[in-house]
Structure 1
Amino acid sequence: MPASPSTARVINDRLALRLLQQEGPLTAGQLKQFTGLSRPTVADLVERLTAAGLVAVVGESGEQRRGPNARLYGIVADRAHLAALDVRTEGVSVLVADLLGGVLAEASVPIGGDTGTGPAVEQAVALVESAAKEAGAAPLHTVGIGAPGLIDPATGELRDSSGLPEWHRRLVTALHERLPARVIVENETNLAALAEQREGAARDRDTFVLLWLGHGTGAAVVLDGALRRGASGGTGEIGFLPVPGTRTLPSATDCEGGFHSLAGSGAIAQLAGEYGLFTGDTGGEPQAAVLVRRAVEAVTRSEAAAVAPAAEAVRATAAGAGRPASDLRPEEARRFLDALADRLAIGAASLAAILDPGCVVLGGEVGQAGQDVLAARVEARLARMSPLVTEVRAGVLGGGAVLRGALLTARDGAQDEIFAPPAR
């Protein structure tokens, strides 16, 4: 049954808007080429979208042709403004963007563990309000939030998870009350997977697992292009996975004794210490990420020096200036990375055995710091442990993947609402 004229118009308008989002400004002729629609149909939809304030002339094509240059049409980016939040146990980061995701302002605030619930919530909400004001983006249309813990798949609300600050849940309620904006909450690891799939290491994969390695551990599962959350929103809570090499078993309220005890930031820092790698102030970055990065640098320099000893010796001396000698011994750094890969392979192999994703992305600050040096080690161990072929990749967005994923989620939500046809 053919679509009615009104339905066809809606379909054509949404198609044109998605093309303008993906490709950037286009001429009417280019829209005709991409959509396969007739010239009069394209002219009508451009007129409708312009009248609705969704599309505007943003320039000319610059093509060499007789007569005037063709006008370029683009989405009106400031039609709506968005905010993205990365909520951690130690603070909040926020960015404000336009409808196309162009970043207008960024800010962060640390929130100490001894800060009361009310003051912590107030600091976080004030941060969002001030960032929006700085960007000239008030009122906000949609706010995307990435937070640790479980998201109830039925309500979309952050559940009361043991070990997380009370202000996390109160913040969501406060944002609903203080801002005239739609608020979308998602687990931080799921958002990181979305960002790595759209803009990072998994752009060519519609099935993969992201193994999050930051202050804590987690996993996100994407199968056939869809994020899988599970019956209670707990898919990927790998920190609670019972594993060998720990002294106890995890409980319903504490992941101590689970995979977190092998691969959390504190566990990795302790492992590094066993191999003589230490670090001081990390500037807020997870200590484990700093240690892994320095180990990778030491191994990389050693391997490069074996190829070009004289030239590399000069570079290594310069690069190592001011660093503790214990961080630069390549053999100990190599042994540390091998031991870490042994640990990570346990979690990755468990995921691969159940899901057969074909690809595991080592995400978060630690995964990014490990680069291909750590990823290759984990992949080699998986190949020995399982008959299932599993590629292991280093995440490229690091800890920033959560904030980026929150922005992508906010943008998608806002565009779905704004680009929707008007109610009849």
Structure 2
Amino acid sequence: MHPPRAAAAGRTASPATARLINDRLALQLLQSEGPLTAGQLKALTGLSRPTVADLVERLQEAGLITVVGESGAQRRGPNARLYGIVADRAHLVGLDLRAHGVTVAVADLLGRVRAERSAPVAPDDAPGTAVATALAAVDAALAAAGADRPHTVAVGAPGLVDPATGRFGGSDRLPTWHAAVVAELRARTSAPVLLENEVNLAALAEQREGAARDHDTFVLLWLGHGTGAAVVLDGTLRRGASGGAGEIGFLPVPGTGALPSATDCDGGFHALVDSAAITALAAEHGIEPPPDGVPGDGPLADAPPAEALLRTALAAEDTGAAFLDALAARIALGAAAVCAVLDPGCVVLGGEIGRAGGEPLADRVADRLARLSPLRTAVRAGTVGGRAVLRGAVLAARDAAQNELFAPAG
């Protein structure tokens, strides 16, 4: 690892600013590399020994790092102390709001999940009942993690989120209780409550820990109950002017027999690749789910029916291959449109269906895409799958908390 040298910051910045930059760099290294000695921090940052000694003392006094052990001594003298981040300095809460329920994860400052709870919401539950169910899941997860209150909360949900206000953009197709849960969380806690589109959070998870770790520019194509996309350009998530970047379900494509409208995406790309459309396509090819179904990889028992069909098709022979080819041709239509506009270089097939299809489906989409677009584009199966939204919410909460805590006063 070759991090940027921090020592140069002191030549152009004020002493207080230089200290802040150096402290943050040291904390980032302790997060990414694990516990380090002062000597290792000196080598990785390029800072002088006295400067490292000062920042270690500051960060200890701020309660951000502590001695977690000793390194094995190879030379004369006592073992060097190992310093690590105080993970319990902050408890982070991530929520994945779905139409059928909510899943909550409570993590520490390093993003390690300490407790998780899921709660289903019935279709006929009143909004107030659904909100109470969601809040009870939050409380239960916090209690299980031994936390009395969260430091930061991040919520992932379907629909537009206005980047300027951090609130839902509004849609008649979304559960009304989602907005009520966010409002209640903001009302009952002083902690920041961040709201983000679910597919954007899934992209964050794939970017940090999944299939896009080696790509600064990529598009996540979400295939689950519904369809969506997330756009990451030069390492930055792009939300669009109104939060609508990636609303690929509204993309007009051939084969739907209709056109989408401002209020209905049923004539768009959504009509080709959502779970219901894939289920119908599977039936045309004689693909039927196993009698007992196939458990999904999401945190709730609400996996899209098409997920089981993808897994069945992969186990079949000729009929399965024909179905996968037909589905890949549909997916490639949307991917080709994205590539023509953005040239992302990489498309990740995310969501429960994208992960269920795995590399066999991704390879088929790549082959079909190569026939439709002159731009070289890798197609990969998502590796985080149905849990990507929840994991992305935890990572977003961690980023926000670290932005605040990793800037201790000089």
Same fold (TM over 0.5): yes
Superposition pairs of residues 149-298 of structure 1, within 5 angstroms: 149-279=159-289, 280=291, 281-282=293-294, 283-298=301-316
SS in 2 for 1:268: helix
1:346 counterpart (333, 336, 340): 333
How far 1:63 moved relative to its partner?
3.0
1:106-137 deviation digits (Å, cap 9, x = unpaired): 11011111111111111101110111011101
2:381 counterpart (380, 385, 394): 394
2:393 counterpart (384, 401, 406): 406
2:16 counterpart (3, 6, 10): 6
1:366-420 deviation digits (Å, cap 9, x = unpaired): 1111111001111111111111111111111111111111110000000111112
Q: Which runs of 5+ in 1 are unaligned?
A: 299-329
How far 1:349 moved relative to its partner?
0.5
Aligned residue identity for 2:169: R
Distance in 1 of aligned mates of 2:240 and 2:16 = 38
Distance in 1 of aligned mates of 2:144 and 2:116 = 9
Alignment: residue pair count: 392
Checking the alignment, whether the CA contact within 8 Å between 1:214 and 1:366 is kept in structure 2 is: yes
2:86 maps to 76
Q: Which runs of 5+ in 2 are unaligned?
A: 1-10, 295-300
2:3 maps to none
2:355 maps to 368
How far 1:160 moved relative to its partner?
1.4
Aligned residue identity for 1:211: L
Aligned residue identity for 1:386: S
Say whether 1:359 aligns with 2:346.
yes
How far 1:181 moved relative to its partner?
1.7
2:63 maps to 53
SS in 1 for 2:130: helix
How far 1:162 moved relative to its partner?
2.3
- TM-score normalised over the length of structure 2: 0.93
Aligned residue identity for 2:207: Q
How far 1:348 moved relative to its partner?
0.5
Distance in 2 of aligned mates of 1:241 and 1:402 = 23
Distance in 2 of aligned mates of 1:335 and 1:62 = 58
Aligned residue identity for 1:296: L
Distance in 1 of aligned mates of 2:132 and 2:302 = 22
How far 1:246 moved relative to its partner?
1.2
1:100 counterpart (97, 104, 110): 110
SS in 2 for 1:399: helix
Aligned residue identity for 1:271: L
Aligned residue identity for 1:294: T
Distance in 2 of aligned mates of 1:168 and 1:284 = 17
SS in 2 for 1:26: coil
Checking the alignment, whether the CA contact within 8 Å between 1:83 and 1:142 is kept in structure 2 is: yes
Checking the alignment, whether the CA contact within 8 Å between 2:64 and 2:85 is kept in structure 1 is: yes
Checking the alignment, whether the CA contact within 8 Å between 2:288 and 2:312 is kept in structure 1 is: no
Aligned residue identity for 2:41: L
Distance in 1 of aligned mates of 2:345 and 2:17 = 40
Checking the alignment, whether the CA contact within 8 Å between 1:162 and 1:254 is kept in structure 2 is: no
Superposition pairs of residues 29-44 of structure 1, within 5 angstroms: 29-44=39-54
1:292-341 deviation digits (Å, cap 9, x = unpaired): 1221233xxxxxxxxxxxxxxxxxxxxxxxxxxxxxxx111011001100
How far 1:29 moved relative to its partner?
0.3
Question: Which region of structure 1 is more displaced relative to structure 2, 355-364 or 248-257?
Answer: 248-257
2:4 maps to none
How far 1:62 moved relative to its partner?
1.7
Distance in 1 of aligned mates of 2:12 and 2:352 = 51
Identity of aligned residues (%): 67
Checking the alignment, whether the CA contact within 8 Å between 1:146 and 1:403 is kept in structure 2 is: yes
1:26 maps to 36
Aligned residue identity for 1:181: A
Distance in 2 of aligned mates of 1:3 and 1:332 = 66
- TM-score normalised over the length of structure 1: 0.90
